[in-house]
Every structure is written in C-alpha cells, then in structure tokens.
Structure 1
Amino acid sequence: MAKGRIKERHQQILQYKLKKIREEQMLEADKHENEKGIESSSKLDSVSGSITKPLSDVSITLNELEAADEEIQEQKWRLLNEDEMEAITLEMYERGHYSPAYSDEKQAMPGIEILDAMEDLKKRDAMIRDADSSTKGSSNSASLTAKEREMEAIARKGMQEDEASFAVEAPLEAQTFLWSEKYRPRKPRYFNRVHTGFEWNKYNQTHYDMDNPPPKIVQGYRFNIFYPDLLDVTQTPTFTVTPCDDPDFAVLRFHAGPPYEDIAFKCVNREWEISHKHGYKCQFANGIFQLWFFFKRYRYRR
C-alpha cells in the first residue's frame, strides 16, 4: 500500500513539474510578444499568479517534512490539499531540479574514496577482460585464492603413491542460467584423484606374477569440487552419471547453484561400491563437494 502511495505521489509531482514547464513557456512567449509591441492577454496574469503560490499559506514547510520520520511524512502528505501539494512540489523542483547538487571534494565524508570517471571505466573494463579470459580456459588454469588453496590442501590429504591427479574435463553443451544477468557464471575449481592398481583375481594370479605384473586398472575416483562462493549453502550440489557411446565409459556431471556452472568428467563405467567401509563418501562440507568411490571387484570364474 505504501508503495502505491509513493507511486501516486510521484505521478502528482511529475504532473506539477510538467505544468510549471508549460507555464514558464507561456510566460516566455507572452514576454516575447510584449517586446514586439503586442499586448499581452489576461491569460498571462492568471498563469503567472498560478506558479508563484506563496509558501506562507502552506500549513507545513518542506523542511519540516524532510525532518520528520517516514510515518509522520506519510500522514502529513495525506493532509495536504491541492494548493499546498503544488507549492511544496514546486519548492522541491526549485531546490534541486531532481538532481544531486555538486559539492567540493573537501566536503566529502572521511573515508569515502573519490573516483575519477575515466579511471573507473578503465578499471572496470580491465576486470571484465580478466574475468572473460579466466573463464575461457581450464577452471584450474588461473591462480588459486587463499581459500581455494586451503581446500586443495584438504583434497590432497592422504594422497598415496597409487593415486594421481585427474583433471580431464568432458565437454558440455552451452549452458544458460536464469541468474546469469545478475551473477557471472564461472566454473568451479577442483582437485580430483584417480586410484589405480593391480587386481589379483584368479585370472591374473594364473597368468601373471610379481615379476610380470598385470596392467594397472582404474580402481576408483576421489572427486573434490570447490564451491567457496556458493550463494545458497543449504542446497547441496548434486551429480548425475550419463553413459557414453562407448559402454566402457560414462560422464559424471556435477551441478550446483549460482554463481557456478556445471562441470563434467569422463570416467570408467563400472559398478560402484556404495558402502562406507569400502571408502564411499558423498558429502558437502566447508565449501567442498566430495564424491569418493571404488569399483566393485568381480571374482574370476573359469
């Protein structure tokens, strides 16, 4: 309701402003005619009288209105009649013409930084170029922030010799977000680990030995995706697994809220061990989404 009253009052102010401009134009036209010797009509007197309403007849002044709080202002605005409303709005127009007044730099409050318009524009353009260049490349190509370095240290913790970093992203289709106009979408940083090793099943025990070991295979993954600036931390990031054209591989896709884009990785397509005692972990804590899993081991049958 208050917003409706403000909008209505704003329309009234605009109408009075337009009326004053028209009256001033009429006065100038009549004055020009008088200089040429043409008699002014009685309309000029009525118009000139209408735009110079004395403020002494107004029950409250503009200064008193501005000094009052919002509730009292609203009450007093409602009590104003048409003439008082016109007089006050005309005074508001004459004071500032609805534009902020220029002031000297020395009058600025302490601690306020005064920016040069051209320098600020150049700085903003440089920031946009840097952001564009960082989003075009790999999400881990640019230098990490202090918070992201802490997250990477957590993700590296306990890394063993049979593990290696895994940073091969799978391409995704062009992504569009409803919030892209408000926030600049960016890829999340990450530190992923792939676990490889020998699988000493009956077949490998029959055909291989320690001097001639079997080929290493992927035994599991540890995905650590960093979301330090996630706006809604109550919404846990999610993941989906989509089969590829090659049945031996699948695309693991991670999704979170603004300001992060989706990110995907191509991994081996095998059945997961989803028991915690076999190393499965799926949690979001301290800005890190962790998905750790190992593959099930199949027994060899002759």
Structure 2
Amino acid sequence: MAGYYQKDFDYSEAIANTSDTGKRQQLLAERQNKIDAEGLSGKVASNDAVSTWTSGYRPYSSSSTRAGSLTVNGLYDAAERARLQRFEAERKRIQQRLQGSLSSIDSDYRAAMTQTDINARKSVIGNEEKLAALGLNMGARTDAATSGAAETSRIAVDNQYRGDLNALGNARLSARAAAQAEAADREAALSSGYYQSESDAALTRAQAALQQYNADRDYSLSVAGLTGFLNGTPTLGWREYQTGQDAALSDRQTQAYEQAFNRWKTYGYVLQSDAATLGVPAGTPTADASYKNASLSLQRWKAGYGY
C-alpha cells in the first residue's frame, strides 16, 4: 500500500526550490509514494534525478530505475525457468529410457526362460531315445529311474536346466543394475550441470547488479559535483558554498547597516532611504535612545555576535 502524498502537489518544483535536507528527504519520499501509487514510473523524472535538482539545474532522467530493474530481473527469472524446464525434461527422458531398458531386459529374460524350458524338454526326450536305443528304459518321469544310466541322465538334464536358469537370472540382474547405474550417472551429470549453470547465472546476475550499482553511484557522484546534492542531501562542497554565501550576505548587510548608521550620525536624523535598513522610523534624531541601541548592535554585529 502506497504511503502519504498530496495528489495535486508539484513535488519536483518544491524539491528544486528547497535546500533544507530534512524537507527534501520528506518531499522525495512523498513523491516516490505518488509515483508508485499512480503508476508514473517511466513517465516522469525519476527521484534519483529530481533529488539533484536546484532552481537552476534540472537534469531529466525517466523514473524507470525500478521498472528497468524489474525487467532485467524478469529476464533472469525467465532464463531460470527455461533452464529448469530443460532440466526436468531431460531427467524425464532419462527415466523413460531407463524404464524402456528394464522392460527390454525383462522381455529378453522371459523369452530366454521359455527357450530354456524348451531346450530342457528336448534334452529329456533325446536322452530317452538314446537309452531306448541301448535297450534301457528310463521309466515314467515321475517315478524312480529303472537303471543307473537313467538316473545319471536325469541328474545331468536337471543340473543343466538349473544352471541355465541361474545364469539367466544373474544376467537379468546384472543388466538391470547396469541400466540403473547408467541412468543414475546421467542424472548425476545432469544435476551437476544444472546447479553449475544456476551458480554461473547467479554470479552473472550479481556482477550485473554490482556493475549497475557502481554506474549509478558514479553518475550520482558526478551529478552531485554539479548540483551540490547527493540523493537529496547537500554535499560538503555545497554546504561550504552556502556558508560562504551566507558569510558574504552577512558582510553586505553589516556594511549596509554601518553606512546607514554613519549617515544617521552625519545628518543627525534617519533618512527615509535608511529607515528599513536601521529598523527605526525616518526622521529619528541621534538624541533618541534607539541611536545608542543601534550603535551597540552594530558593534556586536561587527564582532560576530549578531544582533
């Protein structure tokens, strides 16, 4: 919510025409409130510019500092969002490739299992035919073997079958583990690259902000050298100048007062043209008490005490 300000008040003119530090700061604050509340940023002179204004020096700079800063920040934020979107999209592709690899591994495993079963049955039938040709009978497959040769044949087929199953299982696990490790490595590299780019972007952003700050500071200092005000505060040079001006004015006033007093002393009464300077009515004689008071005031003034 914007702070207090006077809607129809010409803050720029008031700021330019006052050298009182506190008053300038108050006027600048209210003017900024007005700019914020009425959306005048970029349409009127900026507070940074107006803070340097005097009655005879008024450089114009559009109040786009905040808007410009927001625009630059918006560009950085947009770049960050785009970078994050690319990161998430690539991570999603990595997971999709992993799921595809795992699915292919499982499909190959099932096909190999089927083929192993087929091979085992073929081995059993082949052994039965060989034993039959030798006049040996293996007996029913669920019953005990009828001979040592039949028993040995069954054991060999079973061992081969179990060995094939074990090899297939190990191969499946190894393939899955390799696919998952590759995906993890890809994600790690992706994350590392993302955070590095994020760090680089933050550094670039900070450097840009620092450069802008230095540029604004240098500009403010250069303008302060011309106007005598830095962000609305009088500079030391300006204060010294004002002190010199005040001293010169005081000297001129003292000299004018002294000259008028001398004419009063010479003529014996106050001339019409000196009445305002001396602060007494025209025609006042030197015998009047005001003459003595004026003499004392002049002495005090010349001694630096004022009157």
Per residue, is there more helix in 1 or in 2? 2
- TM norm. shorter chain > 0.5: no
Q: Select the structure of larger CA radius of gyration.
A: 2
TM tier, smaller: under 0.3
The two structures have a TM-score, normalised by structure 2, of 0.19
Higher relative contact order (CA 8 A, sep 6+): 2
